[in-house]
Amino acid sequence: MKVSLLQIDVFFGDPEQNYQHVREVFNQADLEANQLVILPELWNTGYDLSRLADIADTKGQRSQSFLRDLAQKYQIYLIAGSIAQESGERFFNTTYVYDPKGVQLGEYDKVHLFRLMREEQFLSAGNQPLVTPIGDFQIACDICYDLRFPEWFRKQASLQANVFVVVAQWPQQRLAAWQKLLQARAIENQAYVLGVNRVGQDPDNVFAGHSLVVDPEGNIIIEMGSEEGIATADISAEKIAESRQEIPVFADRRPELYV
């Protein structure tokens, strides 16, 4: 399957500009039918968390309509980064997934809230993983800080995930951790890891970019720089099978000892 990483800047607290910017990026992209396209975290608002009551998408309705139309127009699978959305007077950091007909395949609310950016003061945490079949793959959706929790990735692997998509607003000062953790999650789960980060800055942070595609052996297939752009790579179900056959990690686990 062909996958495209859309590494973009995000306008702080300005949904109108962000919807327009995403539309323009898609117009400029060279996309193929039935490929997978991925956006970064919180592309609709950025980390303007204190203003979520004013700028979050009510029940995600606008974003869902917008993303459904993009998936249909370009006939793609779309893992739509994540958005800030309001539901029942609470706010969530939510990923939506669509198929080429615009059918929503699932949604995922970020499970691990990042205290250094005060997420727990403004956002509610999700409680369920999302692993969805796309083509020959079982794809798990994760958001930024989730990357630091290997037990969460192993839980998703136990649900047959063999590709992990990590969308992020990861800051420049922790770029080395971003790279190493993406590789570690790929190696230990013998899976592809697709990390899509934003670029640019907001009032408090400079974001690293450096979106990556990592193969099941931890090799970096693609690493972007610190500017906006689109990178495309192919991922292979056969590569996953070969890696898991060579070193049978999952067969040799002893989960009764891990509790």
What is the set of active-site residues?
41, 110, 144
Provide the sign of the torsion angle of the four alpha carbons 123, 128, 129, 131, taken in this order.
Answer: negative
Which DSSP letter does residue 201 get?
B
Burial class of 145 by CB neighbour count within 10 A (0 to 12, 13 to 18, 19+): buried
Amino acid letter for position 255 = P
Provide the β-strand partners of residue 214.
Answer: 193, 220
Which residues on neighbouring strands pair with residue 131, listed in sequence order? Answer: 140
Q: Name the one residue in this structure whose structure tokens are 């997934």.
A: 97
DSSP three-state, residue 82: coil
Cα 192 from Cα 223, distance rounded (Å) = 14
User: What is the identity of the amino acid at 177?
Assistant: A
The first and second tokens of residue 41, run together, are: 């975290």
- Are 79 and 141 spatial neighbours (Cβ–Cβ below 8 Å)? yes
The H helix count followed by the E strand count for the chain is 7, 14
